[in-house]
Amino acid sequence: MAGRDRASLRQVEPQEGEDPARHFPDRFRAALAARSAAAVGLKSIVAYRHGFDFDPALPSDKEVIDAAGRWLARTETGADPRVDDPVLLRFGLWTGVERGLPLQLHAGYGDPDVELHRCDPLLLTRWLKLVEPHGVDITLLHCYPYHRNAGYLAQVFPHVYFDVGLGVNYTGSRSDALIAESLELAPFAKILFSSDAWGPAELHLLGARLFRRGLGRALRGWVEAGE
């Protein structure tokens, strides 16, 4: 941690007997700045912790302090420290935007921790409108089965990009159709590649091979049809 960042954290260190939630907003901003000093981007799993159906506006520091107080009080009872308060999650997202780095958001299909109907990226539309003036690029990761919705967002918002990586591996023999559908609206330069190879190394190869095959078949078919 850089000296300036350590100093920033010391300046908001709670004093003995003082409510620790009072300094939560400033300490979080300072900690994120320190941790991301050499980063090229940030990622949020708000889809897992709450979903995208949240108030898109930046919360006030008072709202954050109140929410942090509730969370800290809960953890002091020995409860699971999982952060799922929408105010704290919104604050985390907006603090990331304020860093000015590209921001990745998992969308759509995931493990049983997600409530899939709340992970449709279209639910982010109002938030994306508010983020656009900040000049921060947003990448929607994976997106299945909402890949067409993600393609729409990538078309209408200049700062939105997406991939279908997880969906490609999981749909296997049907991945050709998934890739073709992702190309329907989105500009080609807005469609990114990932293998989502979170486990066996072979998934890197499989993801790359399926994506290359599906993209080739879709484009070849359109070229041969004179499209």
Considering the chain, what percentage of its residues have pLDDT values greater than 90?
A: 80
Report d(CA 45, CA 17) in Å as an integer. Answer: 33
Q: How many CB atoms lie within 10 A of CB 49?
A: 17
The answer to whether the beta carbons of residues 149 and 143 sit under 8 Å apart is yes
Pick from 77, 105, 102, 93: nearest CA to 28: 93
Report d(CA 145, CA 109) in Å as an integer. Answer: 7
Q: Tell me the C-alpha to C-alpha distance, in Å, between residue 182 and each of 28, 177, 217, 220.
A: 36, 9, 13, 16
219 in helix, strand or coil? helix
Pairing of strands 138-142, 160-163: parallel
Write down the residue that tokens 């997406």 correspond to: 162
Q: How many CB atoms lie within 10 A of CB 35?
A: 12
Considering the chain, what percentage of its residues have pLDDT values greater than 70?
A: 92
72 CB burial (10 A radius; 0-12, 13-18, 19+): middle
- The contacts of residue 153 (CB under 8 Å, 6+ apart) are 121, 122, 124, 125, 128, 140, 160, 162
Report d(CA 37, CA 155) in Å as an integer. Answer: 31
Angle among Cα 28, 29, 30 to the nearest 5 degrees reads: 90
If pLDDT is split at 50, 70 and 90, which confidence band does 8 have? very low
pTM: 0.88
Does pLDDT of 1 surpass 70?
no
Task: Tell me the per-residue pLDDT of 174-210, one tens digit each, with 9 for 90 and over.
Answer: 999 999 999 999 999 999 999 888 888 898 999 999 9
Task: Tell me the per-residue pLDDT of 69-104, one tens digit each, with 9 for 90 and over.
Answer: 999 999 999 889 999 999 999 999 999 999 999 999
37 in helix, strand or coil? coil
Report d(CA 161, CA 140) in Å as an integer. Answer: 6
> Identity (one letter) of the amino acid at 197?
A
